[in-house]
Structure 1
Amino acid sequence: MNFKVKSLLLALLCACSQGPGSQSPDGGSQTQNPGPTPGPIDGGSGADLDPSELDPVSHGGTITFESIGAPGWYPSRRDPETGPCDAYQSSGCCLSKHTIESNTLTPWDEDLIVTLRGPMKVKQFAVYQPAGNPKGPWNLVSSWDDRSPKSPQGLHFEGNSTEEKGFDGIIGTECLVDVSTSEDFACGPGSLPYCPPQGSGKKKTWGWSGSKLFVMLATMPHASSLGHACSQGSGGNWFDAPWVGLSHGELVRAGAFGGCHCYAKEPDKWYLGDGCGQFNVFEVVNDNNDFKNLDVFSTNMFGYAGYVGEGPCGSKCKVGSLGSEADLIDKSTSTEAARGAVASPTRGPGAALRRPVSGYRYFLILLDVPSRTVQLAIIHPLSVPASVGALLPGLPAQMEASTVEAVRTLRLPR
């Protein structure tokens, strides 16, 4: 299966997101309902890593996407009883045109939910957002730690039996876990954007709107060494292929792969992904063809504004010839990149980040609305740059805007 098509199908199987409402405080697009703003929570809990969980120190890597965002529209689901159905209507499916006028990180400034696919082991997961003024401090608004797995703060997990058992940090190959805020979203008649009524005990939640910084401490060992599989064999296109994705909350709350969604402007042409789309932040591609490379991430975002980023390395990235210190690979030479990669809607990064299979890394995902920047970083716990030392490893309850700026301008390996 083509890697784009596979990614699109995954988004629908995970059931992705967005919800239209008022102007976001940090310059986001007009949305009908941006959802509640999570409050600050306690922080300051540095990672507790055993030496056996650490591999040799690596140089880290960054990919920076600049000038992100575009005006346009995508179809937003409506209650068939209320409409309007001016984008698409068929067999109870009512989609309305959600028009976006801003170009400030749109539509990724809207309500987003994270999806994690294994094999993956997570030690910490944290989310920061501006406390008010985007030029002021940022608060820790959501967090989870494997030292107290039953006590998430401002987080909700769904999928892979986490609703009943809680999240223990281990996600087996082909297993999927959606991570969102703990704020309830009331599905049912009149909900906006619309999502079907939930059964007894079911819970749907908001994602994070506006500027946000996701921090995850994780490793992604090969499926053969992790267990906990959600598959029966190695023939599947997602086998041994971890993924960190961002999807609109609307799509996630809509439920499983169905015939009415914001993902494409015509639901029966979902493979086009020209609606609210999806952001494949860190995606290992396993299509059982020439695109397959189980050691390297591809990174791309797509939707109504088009395709941004680059596809998988395939055989172009020969990881076996690299030293363990390399986290960012120059695609043209299969060597360690000279410095952090920079991309835009008209230029791919030309580099790919390496999957950590034997040790932990910090994964950073910054979506900064005012600067129209998306910053991705992988950082070894024993090689945290001094410029972001106020954030890692301590994960404080609050950090200054200067630290966020340091994350945004970070260029690794050099």
Structure 2
Amino acid sequence: MNFKVKSLLLALLCACSQGLGSQSPDGGPQTQNPGPKPGPVDGGLGADLDPSELDPVSHGGTITFESIGAPGWYPSRRDPETGPCDAYQASGCCLSKHTIESNALTPWDEDLIVTLRGPMKVKQFAVYQPAGDSKGPWNLVSSWDDRSPKSPRGLHFEGNSTEEKGFDGIIGTECLVDVSTSEDFACGPGSVPYCPPQGSGKKKTWGWSGSKLFVMLATMPHAGSLGHACSQGSGGNWFDAPWVGLSHGELVRAGAFGSCHCYAKEPDKWYLGDGCGQFNVFEVVNDNNDFRNFDVFSTNMFGYAGYVGEGPCGSRCKVGSLGSEADLIDKSTSTEAARGAVASPTRGPGAALRRPVSGYRYFLILLDVPNRTVQLAIIHPLNVPASVGALLPGLPAQMEASTVEAVRTLRLPR
């Protein structure tokens, strides 16, 4: 199975997300209602570093996507009783054209939900957003810490029994957990985008729209060293393949792909992925063929605007000869990259980030709407660059925009 088809199949089961709004939280144009913006949570998280769980210091790595966003449209689900169904209509499926005029990080400026797939062990999860526009302070709006796992703040977990048992930070191989805000989304008649009425006790929530910075302290050991497995053996295409994905909230709230979705402009041609699409932020690929590589992440985003990024390394990224200090791999040479990779819609990064299997790393995902930039970073807890020291490891309740700018312009390993 090739990588793109595998990624699309992945989306069929994982779920995706979407947004709405008249104006983005950053003051830029936005064509749908973005939903409620989470308020700040009280207090920062503080450092959560156990020396016994840290591996030797590594150099870190960044991949920077510039000039992201494009005008266009994708199908958004509507109530069949009210419509409009101007994009697609069949067998109770009503899809309306959600037209996007801006190129400011569209559609990733919209309502997004995070999906985590194991094997993975998370110690901290934090989300920051601008208090006003992006030039002012950024607030911690959602957080979770393994030192108080039963007390998430501004977060909702769904999948892998987290709704009943809560999230304990451990996600077994092939298990999936969706992470969203705690703000209720009112499904039912007339909801926009439409999601069917929920049964008693069931809850659907918004994602995060506008500019946002996700920070996760996690490790991704090989399958077998963590419990909670959601598989019956090693034959599946997701076995031992952790993934961090961003999807539009519309699909996540739908629960799974069915016969009516925003992922493709024609639901029965889901394999095209030409609708609201998906962002595979950090994905280990296991296709049980030449694309398989358990040691590195691929990174790509796709939807109505086309495909941006690169697929898996496969045999091109041989990490066996690399020292443990290398977090960013030059795909052309299978050596440590000399400097952080930069990509655009017309140029792939030419580099891949390395999966941390024996120690923790900070995973950073910055979606900066005004600058049309997506910044991905992996940082060793004992090698935090001074420029982002106001963020890591303390994860404060608030930080200045200058710190976010330092994250955006970070280029690691050099």
Give the TM-score taking structure 2 as reference length: 0.99
- 1:199 shift after superposition: 1.1
Shift of 1:177: 0.1
- Give the match for residue 174 of structure 2: 174
Quick check: 52-61 or 25-34, which moved more?
A: 25-34
Shift of 1:21: 1.8
Partners of 1:14 and 1:44 lie apart in 2 by 30
User: Is the contact made by 1:66 and 1:342 (CA closer than 8 Å) also made in structure 2?
Assistant: yes
Cα distance, 1:257 vs. partner? Answer: 2.1
Task: Indicate if the aligned counterparts of 2:247 and 2:278 stay in contact, CA closer than 8 A.
Answer: yes
- Give CA deviations for 1:188-219 in whole Å, capped at 9, x if unaligned: 11000000111111100000000000000000
State the 1:169 CA deviation.
0.1
* Structure 1 residue 17: Cα displacement: 1.4
Alpha-carbon shift at residue 254 of structure 1 (Å): 1.2
Query: What is the alpha-carbon distance in structure 1 between the residues aligned to residue 25 and residue 244 of structure 2?
Result: 27
Would the aligned equivalents of 1:110 and 1:248 in 2 still touch at CA under 8 Å?
yes
Shift of 1:228: 1.4
Q: Which runs of 5+ in 1 are unaligned?
A: none
Is the CA contact 2:23–2:33 (under 8 Å) kept in the aligned structure 1? Answer: no
Tell me, in whole angstroms, the C-alpha distance in 2 between the residues paired with 1:32 and 1:25. 12
Tell me the alpha carbon deviations over residues 287-330 of structure 1, each in whole angstroms, 9 at most, x when there is no partner. Answer: 00000000000000000000000000001000101000000000
Tell whether the 8 Å contact from 2:387 to 2:406 is kept in structure 1 after alignment.
yes
SS in 1 for 2:154: coil
> How far apart, in 1, do the equivalents of 2:407 and 2:388 lie?
6
- 2:57, 2:325 within 8 Å by CA — same for their partners in 1? yes
SS at match of 2:32: coil
305-314 or 7-16: which moved more? 7-16
The answer (yes or no) to whether the contact 1:61–1:377 under 8 Å persists in 2 is yes
- In structure 2, how many angstroms separate the alpha carbons of the residues matched to 1:227 and 1:163? 18
Q: Give 1:225 deviation, angstroms.
A: 1.2
Native 8 Å contact 1:29 1:100 kept in 2: no
Between the aligned partners of 1:124 and 1:229, the Cα distance in structure 2 is: 21
Check the 8 A contact 1:29/1:110 in 2, yes or no: no
Deviation of the 1:42 alpha carbon: 2.1
In structure 2, C-alpha distance between the alignment counterparts of 1:225 and 1:188, rounded to whole Å: 42
Contact 1:28 1:106 in 2 (8 A): no
CA drift of 1:43 comes to 3.1
Q: Distance in 2 between matches of 1:29 and 1:92?
A: 32
SS in 2 for 1:315: helix
Q: CA deviation at 1:227?
A: 2.4
Q: Distance in 2 between matches of 1:90 and 1:28?
A: 35
Instruction: Give the conservation status (yes or no) of the 8 Å contact 1:317–1:334.
Output: yes
How many matched pairs? 414
Q: Cα offset for 1:46? A: 2.3
How many angstroms does 1:13 deviate by? 1.1
Cα distance in structure 2, aligned partners of 1:25 and 1:39: 12
Map 1:121-132 onto structure 2 (within 5 A): 121-132=121-132
**Cα contact 1:122–1:219 (8 A) shared by 2:** yes
Secondary structure of the residue that 2:405 maps to in structure 1?
helix
Deviations 1:87-131 (A, max 9, x none): 011100000000000000000000000000000000000000000
Contact 1:130 1:138 in 2 (8 A): yes
Displacement of 1:28 after TM fit?
4.4
Shift of 1:245: 0.1
8 A Cα contact 2:123 2:169, kept in partner: yes
C-alpha displacement of 1:32: 2.5
**Equivalent pair of 1:291/1:313 in contact (CA under 8 Å):** yes
**Aligned 8 A contact 2:25 2:211 in 1:** no
* Secondary structure of the structure 1 residue equivalent to 2:295: strand
Task: Tell me the TM-score normalized by structure 1.
Answer: 0.99
The equivalent residue for 2:244 is 244
Q: Per the alignment, in what secondary structure is the counterpart of residue 321 of structure 1?
A: coil
The answer to whether the 8 Å contact 1:19/1:192 transfers is no
Q: Percent of counterpart pairs with the same letter?
A: 96
Shift of 1:20: 2.2
Q: Is the 8 A contact 1:130 1:137 kept in 2?
A: yes
Tell me, what secondary structure is at the counterpart of 1:253? helix
CA contact (8 A) 1:29 1:107 kept: no
- Give 1:29 deviation, angstroms: 4.3
CA shift, 1:48, in A, is: 2.5
**Counterpart contact for 2:25–2:209, Cα < 8 Å:** no
What do the CA deviations read for 1:361-392 (whole angstroms, capped 9, x no partner)? 00000000000000000000000000000000
| CA positional deviation for 1:19 | 2.8
CA distance in 1, matches of 2:318, 2:29: 41
What pairs up with 1:55-204 in 2 under 5 angstroms? 55-204=55-204
Asked whether the 8 Å contact 2:44–2:140 carries over to 1, the reply is no
Kept after mapping to 2: 8 A contact 1:123/1:169 = yes
Deviations along 1:146-197, one digit per CA (max 9) or x if unpaired, are 0000000000000000000000000000000000000000001100000011
Q: Give 3-state SS (helix, strand or coil) of 1:223's partner.
A: coil
